[in-house]
Amino acid sequence: MTRSARFASLFAATFFFLAGAPALAQDSAQDIDCGECHAAADVGYTSTAHPDVACIECHTNVTPAHKDADLEPLTDEESCGECHGSILRSAGRSVHKGEAGCNDCHGAPHAIHEIDDLASAVSPINQIQQCGACHDDPPELVDGYLTSEHGKALLLAGLVNAPSCSDCHGDHRIMTADSSRAPTEHYNSPEMCGTCHQILFEEWKEQSAHGLAWQDEKEGPVCVDCHSSHQVRDPSTYDARHAGAQNCGGCHEEYLNTFQFSFHGQALHLGLSEGATCADCHTPHKNLAADNPASSVHPDNRMETCGNCHEGITASFASFDPHSDPTDPDYNFAVYVIWFFMTSLLIGVFAFFGIHDLLWLQRSLVGTLRGEFKEERQNASGQWVRRFRRSNMRMHVVIITTFLVLALTGLPLKFSTAPWAQFLVNVLGGIESTRFLHRVAAIGTFGYLIAHVLEVMYRSFVKGEKGMFWGPNSMTPQPKDVADFFGNLRYFLYLGER
């Protein structure tokens, strides 16, 4: 045999030996009968993800003569890496590197199921429990999701395509929430939300000031700023609507202040769920500057916008300025004058009668203790003069009742942010009953005004009575009324007779 022939024979033998070695090793491994020592019931192998995987393919450190004491715990690379190498490399670049292994998420090795199997530890319905085992601080991460619209859709309604943890954060290559490569990062989050809310995302991106700013990479609110991340609420509920104004006010503080003291803001704050909030006028995803012709609050579009809540409106009605500041004389002087007059009238009336009643009360108590009224009681059987006719007495009952009801139901709205306002509204039965009572009292007020005018006209022009506009029968204050006022004041202050 020549040298070249011997070399060829040696090469062929070596090749066939090396090629056959793995097969021999595999045959040797497959010769291990695990069932001789490990009964199937004890192993509890229920995996649907690895139904045809042999024991040795994961337990790579097992030999025919192994003993439990000789086996070291297997790493993810040793047990899972042979088949899932690319996934392991992705996980090695994630925030979970060195913190969580395959089985920490996917469950016990013998009970790993397909991802879309509802029994899987990482199925949508089990993710919240699996992830929450580690990510439970702060509690709002888990508790917020459970009570969110996403959580209720998944866990209560059973919609398995509702977003769970991995839909937003990813699966194996998870980054910290604020990482520039994380889908949950502030700038990236709109595209993350847009994977499900595609129509709203396109509308927001192309037709809102916020979306246009986002495209230009300018600072501005995105989905999670308004809807939050884990505690996503139904935007049509009262709590969400009330919080929405506060969210907008985080950036538009000057408009929040004027909104809070407008009728819309006051009524909403006191519990009127259908009270207009920012999104009702400016729209949630198409909000544009007021001078933009496409804006819902542009003068050309206000009739339609206001008409969504108010039927049969006019152009004059739609010209209402919901963000007017009545306390600023430079903004609208006429409105400022009206506000100043009404506020002064309100404070003045309550201050005057409050002080008057307190002075009267203390003087009456002192007079009683001194026995100043004994003589009047002793002569109580004497002659009495009726000051008012029966119709006047009825009128006074209506006046007092309607005034008190208007005050009780109107003051909470005027001072809606005061700590007692909400309590008083609750005592009155809620905002709806408060509104109803206020309207009834207002009708009563206009009713007795009209009744009084008609009575004066009838008695003056039909019956020919004198002194209906000036004199003892008139409601016009007389000089004697002024003298009696100062006389009462001297009496209250112990400076004169009763």
Q: What is the reported pLDDT for 67?
A: 66
Q: What is the reported pLDDT for 145?
A: 93
* Per-position DSSP letters for 59-105, written without gaps between them: -TT--TT--GGGPPPPPHHHHTTTT-HHHHHHHHTSTTTTT--HHHH
Report the distance separating Cα 429 and Cα 435, nearest Å.
Answer: 10
Residue 73 DSSP symbol: P
Residue 314's SS3 state is coil
pLDDT higher than 60, residue 399? yes
pLDDT digits (tens, 9 = 90+) for 305-352: 999 999 999 999 999 898 999 999 999 999 999 999 999 998 999 999
Q: What is the reported pLDDT for 162?
A: 94
Q: What is the reported pLDDT for 16?
A: 43
Which of 306 and 55 is assigned the larger pLDDT? Answer: 306
Q: What is the reported pLDDT for 475?
A: 82
Report the distance separating Cα 412 and Cα 422, nearest Å.
Answer: 7
Q: What integer best gives the mean pLDDT of the chain? A: 87
* Type of residue found at 85: G
Write down the pTM of the prediction: 0.74
Rounded average pLDDT over 2-8 = 50
Q: How many residues are present in the chain?
A: 498
Q: What is the reported pLDDT for 6?
A: 52
Residue 422 is inside which H or E element, if any? Answer: helix 419-427
Model confidence band, residue 69 (pLDDT cutoffs 50, 70, 90):
low
pLDDT higher than 50, residue 12? no
pLDDT digits (tens, 9 = 90+) for 123-140: 999 999 999 999 988 888
Burial of 100 by CB count in 10 Å (0-12 exposed, 13-18 middle, 19+ buried)?
middle
Residue 159's SS3 state is coil
